[in-house]
Each structure stands twice: as C-alpha cells, then as structure tokens.
Amino acid sequence: MTSIAANLQAVASRIAAACSAAGRNPAEVSLLAVSKTWPAACVREAAGCGQRAFGENYVQEGVAKISELADLGLEWHFIGPLQSNKTRPVAEHFAWVHSIERLKIAERLSAQRPAGLAPLQVCIQVNVSGEESKSGCAPAEAPALAAAVAALPNLRLRGLMAIPEPTDDGALQHRRFAALRELLAELNRQGLALDTLSMGMSDDMEAAIAEGATLVRVGTAIFGTRNYAA
C-alpha cells in the first residue's frame, strides 16, 4: 500500500474514532483532502483510493490541477484567501468556496458563475480567534454578511468555515470550534438553513468533530509535510 493510501485509511480511522467518542455518525463528517503544493499525480493517487473532494488555496495552481485531472470528475473546493481580481477562474472551475469574508467577493463570484453550472456552494469564513488571526469576518458581522450572501442568485450559502490559531491547548481548540457551531445555530435560528461547519485540520480534527464539524480539511496527514519552497 502506498503512503497516501495508508494515510487516508489512518485519517478515516481518526474521524471514525472522534465520531464514536462524540456519539456522532461518521457519515455526518466528510473529508476534504487539501492538496495545495502537491502535484496532480498525488491527487490522482488519492482519487484512486476513493477520495473525491479536494481543496486548493492558490487559484493558478488549483485551476491547473483541475484541468489536468478533468477525466476523474472530482469535486474541487477553493479554501484560500481570494482577491477580487482572481474570482473569475474560481467561479468557473470550482464547486465550493470556503473563504468568503467580504460581500464584494461573493457578488463577483455570483455574477461570474457560468450559466449551466450548479450554484457555487459557499461558506463564510469567520475569525473565531480575535487578534490571533487576520482572516475571516468578525463574528458580529457574520449575520448581515450571511443574509446578503444567501440572497445572491448563483451562490448557495452552506455554512461557516474557520481556521483557529494553531495551539496545543485542547480546551482552547474546543472553545474556538464551539464558537463557530454556536454562530451557525444562531444564523439558523434567524431563518437560514445552513448545514456545513467546515472546521478541523490535521492537528485539531478531533476537537472540531467533537464540536460538530461536518467537513474536515486535511492536508499534511494525507500527503505529508508541505515544502513551500518547491
């Protein structure tokens, strides 16, 4: 068995164990394999093991892999920071965007989503770490942003995403993820119908699953340590 195959099995076991500890059904938690910096061949290998959903952070790199692997019919998620001059290729090539933090970006994605494609599935990225983090909208801004995004014609708002600051403090991990879960519940009480909590990565997926993650974004534990210099 290749290391990607073994790593995918190990991640599936971690998800299953975390679900079991939390009394959750593993079918409620989907795995997004984060393939940024890894060549298309690694994605093809993971796809050969049955993995269907992949996450990319950089527009050019992601679009190149999407075209190279078009024969596989994979589901591609954009999870990185998105500048307004890069929205068009994302609207044209990805199925999901997790990193909406401003209305202007959402408006451009909706306007640029090609007719004939399904609506772009989106999450609003929320900064649950205060001054420890720069990305994501402030929690207090999320209700208004969510209402505005939900009204855009070619997007479908699915939920919230967060990247808490890295920490070994398990209680802090739980607090950050719980804050996102509570915010999603508040938005649903206000009339939205959101089903996605995109939270948890290689180092903190157990805490995220315990707090209600429905999608974990995992890179290192599947593909290995990234080399950004490459």
Ligand X SMILES: *Cc1c(COP(=O)(O)O)cnc(C)c1O
Cα 108 from Cα 73, distance rounded (Å): 25
Among 91, 128, 163, 213, binds ligand X (CB under 6 A): 163
Residue number closest to ligand X, CB atom? 219
Stretch that binds ligand X, among 46-54, 85-93, 116-124, 197-205 (CB under 6 A): 197-205
Q: What phi, psi does 93 have (nearest 5°)?
A: -120, -20
* Binding flag, residue 218, ligand X (CB under 6 A): yes
* Binding flag, residue 8, ligand X (CB under 6 A): no
Among 128, 201, 207, 210, binds ligand X (CB under 6 A): 201
* Binding flag, residue 217, ligand X (CB under 6 A): yes
- Residue 222 makes CB contacts below 8 A (sequence gap 6+) with 4, 7, 8, 11, 33, 34, 46, 51
Cα 97 from Cα 121, distance rounded (Å): 6
Q: What's the token pair of residue 138?
A: 């402030």
Question: Under rule CB under 6 A, how many of the chain's residues touch ligand X?
Answer: 14
Instruction: Give the number of residues written for the chain.
Output: 230
| Interactions with ligand X, residue window 76-135 (CB under 6 A) | 79-80
- Report, in Å, the least distance between residue 191 CB and ligand X: 28
Cα 25 from Cα 213, distance rounded (Å): 12
Binding site for ligand X (CB under 6 A): 34, 36, 57, 79-80, 163, 201-203, 217-221
